[in-house]
Chains A and B, each alone.
Chain A
Amino acid sequence: MSHLHFPDGVLPLWLIGLGWLVTLVLVGAAARALRRADRAHLVPLIGVVSALVVAAMSSEIVPIAYHINLTVLAGIMVGPAAAVLVALVVNVILALFGHGGVTVVGLNTVEIATEMSLGYVLFHGIVRVLRGRPGLAAGLATVLTLFVSTTLMIGIVALSQVAPVDARETGALDPATLSFSDPFGQGLFANRIATPEREPSVAPAGAISVARFAAVVYALGLIGWTIEALLIGSMVSFVARVRPGLLRHPLLGGLEWT
């Protein structure tokens, strides 16, 4: 539930463009932050962590439309700067397999990079309080992170004004009247591709749609967050026992917490 599975053509163009713009800025900042790292070391590490996340996200729990993300674990392992590159690469590959739209890769990158970075910060913050219990810290960080990222996703839906009334005016066939709205009604570019289209006579109903969307994703998300928190908590606990160095990778400037 951590990222948008919106198909292409649902979100307004300005939002998609904003997502790409922020992604470009983030990638530039990440490249700058990592410029002193050994690239021969960085490329396989980011590649393998990205592959882990792709493999996890490829396994869907169909009844609740959820898949394991491993984003918090990835954030803990590579740190915030490399997490931006991981998020971009993961989204590009997932989009190539039809998992989320191609045009929303930018927004999804922002969402997942935020999730990984937040997971990293929260884990290192909580583990200082819960010394000796990294698994519990990772579980708590996962729940908090997924709650924040899901709320961010709902915020994007609200921003996009995805609502039944808005969608109706984009020209979809109305079975009752067999009519479409006029894409040129408010000028050549007054369609949803450039600007959200709304006829003055129709009141916006975005709140209803967002409320229902929030109810669905929070309800299903709670189940998913629990599964994810248990899994990541156990994984981090295991890794901390077997190879603690992986949780504070020196290459990427991880923090000491033991």
Chain B
Amino acid sequence: MDVATVDYWATSGRSYLHRASPVAKIVAAAAGIATVVVVQNVLVLAAVYLLVLAAARRARIPLRPFVLATTYSAVFALLLAVAQYAGDWVIPLTTVVKAMTAAAVVVLLIATTPYPQLFAPLRRLLPGIVVDVLYVTYRSVFIVLGVLTDLLTAVRLRGGFVGRNIGSRARNLAAAFGLGAIHALDVSERTYAVMRVRGYSGGLSGERSSGLRGRDAPLLMAALSVAAVAFVFRFQWRALNPYSWLPALIALVVLGLCLALPRRSGEEARP
């Protein structure tokens, strides 16, 4: 999982999804998650996954790293899938596809929404201290990753990982991580000083949460329509089961069209 790449997609994109209001995107993502929770038909789940890929494509997000980001969750879902295997592959496959679809929904949300915009609406739901910590944590992830990367590079350049003595290499690695932890806590002390100087008294300002706008209607309609169709397939399974392939086929065609449509130059989000 490349946090920096996902953040770059969120901040550099200019697509319709990037410009949609965060509240609308959160509602659409919630509809997607609800769909994943309710639906048990692997073909319908696959259809939702393909539609999310199509949306990602339209948002100018490179598909290969996006798909890789969604398969990250599949690796862990495999543990459960192995436990569920009882002679046929459909149930384990459903679990894996559920994991990938839910991951695709939330990754698309965060890949099209800069984190200050994403966390701003949460202030209405969560205690202020939790939202403040979310802001600081998200920002600190990049600092910590940078510190650790620099330290590991320094250890490597000084020959810390050379030789066949695994114990020595492991000690150097642990020392680098330990030093990274100390550096990270130094960062927290500096942040504390900055917050004091700036008069922090509870509540980082962040961005104000904007409400729904007229241009969000297509996004909301699309997300709620997909959820509604999936729900109907779930609850009218007896009648619709023979047609389970239809949503998957339609989603495949939509994705194919999105892949075939020419992209305007200069709008491609690059990692």
Residues of B within 8 A of A162 (CB): 80, 83-84
Q: Does A9 lie within 8 Å of B98, measured CB to CB?
A: yes
Known contacts: A85-B130, A89-B133, A173-B241. The answer to whether A96 contacts B73 by CB under 8 A is no
Q: Is the CB of A205 within 8 A of B86?
A: yes
Chain B nearest CB: distance from A107 CB in Å? 14
Q: Report B-chain residues with C-beta under 8 Å of the C-beta of A217.
A: 79
Is B241's CB under 8 angstroms from A180's CB? yes
Alpha-carbon distance between A7 and B140 when the two chains are bound, in angstroms: 27
Q: For window 115-171 of chain B, which residues contact chain A by CB distance below 8 Å?
A: 118, 127, 129-130, 132-141, 143-145, 148, 170-171
- Chain A binding surface, main DSSP class: helix
Q: Which of B47-99 contact A (CB under 8 A)?
A: 69-70, 72-73, 75-80, 82-91, 94-95, 98-99
10 contacts between A and B (CB under 8 A): A9-B36, A42-B129, A47-B191, A50-B140, A77-B185, A89-B133, A97-B103, A102-B106, A171-B41, A239-B182
**6 closest pairs, A vs B, by CB?**
A98-B103, A47-B136, A234-B174, A5-B76, A164-B86, A238-B178
Selected interface stretch from B12-20, B215-223, B231-239, B259-267:
B231-239
Docked pose: A237 CA to B195 CA in angstroms: 31
| Cα of A163 to Cα of B244 in the assembled complex, Å | 24
Asked if A178 lies at the interface with its beta carbon under 8 angstroms from chain B, I say: yes
Alpha-carbon distance A173/B240, docked complex (angstroms): 12
Q: Are B98 and A8 in contact (CB under 8 A)?
A: yes
Task: Report A68-90 CB contacts with B as 1/0, cut-off 8 Å.
Answer: 00000100010000000100111
Cβ-defined contact, A213 with B79, below 8 A:
yes
User: In the bound complex, do residue B76 and residue A65 qualify as a contact, i.e. CB atoms below 8 Å apart?
Assistant: yes
**Interface on chain B toward A: helix, strand, loop, or mixed SS?**
helix
Q: Which of B39, B87, B132, B242 has the most CB of A within 10 A?
A: B132
CB pair B106–A48 under 8 Å, yes or no, is no
Partner-binding segment picked from A51-59, A119-127, A141-149: A51-59
Give the docked Cα–Cα distance between A100 and B103 (Å).
8
Q: Within 8 Å CB of B109, what residues of A?
A: 96
B→A interface (CB under 8 Å) = 1, 3, 6, 33, 36-43, 69-70, 72-73, 75-80, 82-91, 94-95, 98-99, 102-104, 106-107, 109-110, 118, 127, 129-130, 132-141, 143-145, 148, 170-171, 173-175, 177-182, 184-185, 187-189, 191-192, 195-196, 200-202, 204, 234-235, 237-238, 241-242, 244
Contact of B182 among A62, A230, A237, A246 (CB under 8 A): A246
A243-B1 contact given A48-B144, A164-B86, CB 8 Å threshold: no
Contact A101 B102 (CB under 8 A): yes
Complex interface: chain A residues within 8 A of B107 (CB): 97-98
For residue A204, give the distance in angstroms from its CB to the closest CB of chain B.
Answer: 12
User: How many A-B residue contacts, CB cutoff 8 Å?
Assistant: 285
Residue from A10, A42, A96 in contact with B110 in the complex, judged by beta carbons closer than 8 Å = A96
Measured between C-beta atoms, what is the minimum distance from B166 to chain A in Å?
10
How far is B135's CA from A40's CA once the two chains are assembled, in angstroms? 13
**Interface members, chain A 217-258 (any B CB < 8 Å):** 217, 220, 230-231, 233-239, 242-243, 246
Chain A residues whose C-beta falls within 8 Å of the C-beta of B188 in the assembled complex: 44-45, 47-49
Identify B144's interface contact among A52, A180, A193, CB under 8 A.
A52
Contacts known (A92-B134, A99-B72, A178-B241); A209 close to B78, Cβ less than 8 A:
no
- Out of A7, A168, A178, which one reaches B98, CB within 8 Å? A7
A157 to B127, CA, bound (A): 30
Return the contact of A172 from the options B40, B73, B79, B192 (Cβ within 8 A): B40
Q: How far apart sit A173 and B91, CA to CA, in the bound complex (Å)? A: 8
Question: A217 vs B79: C-alpha distance in the bound complex, in angstroms?
Answer: 8
- Asked whether B137 lies within 8 Å of A239 as measured between CB atoms, the reply is no
- A51 touching B141, Cβ below 8 Å: yes
Residues on A with C-beta less than 8 A from B242 are: 178
Among B82, B83, B148, the residue within 8 A (CB) of A55 is: B148
A103 touches B83 (CB 8 A): no
CA distance A7 to B238 in the complex (A): 26
Give the residue of A50, A99, A173 whose beta carbon is less than 8 angstroms from that of B42.
Answer: A173
Q: Mark A94-122, 1 if CB is under 8 A from B, else 0.
A: 01111111110000000000000000000
| A26 on interface, CB distance cutoff 8 Å | no
Which single member of A9, A65, A167 contacts B38 (CB below 8 Å)?
A: A9
A47-B188, A89-B133, A89-B137 known, 5 other contacts, Cβ within 8 Å: A85-B129, A102-B102, A178-B241, A180-B41, A183-B237
Contact flag A213-B73 (CB < 8 Å), given A98-B102, A239-B182 = no
Residue of chain A at shortest CB distance from B198:
A40
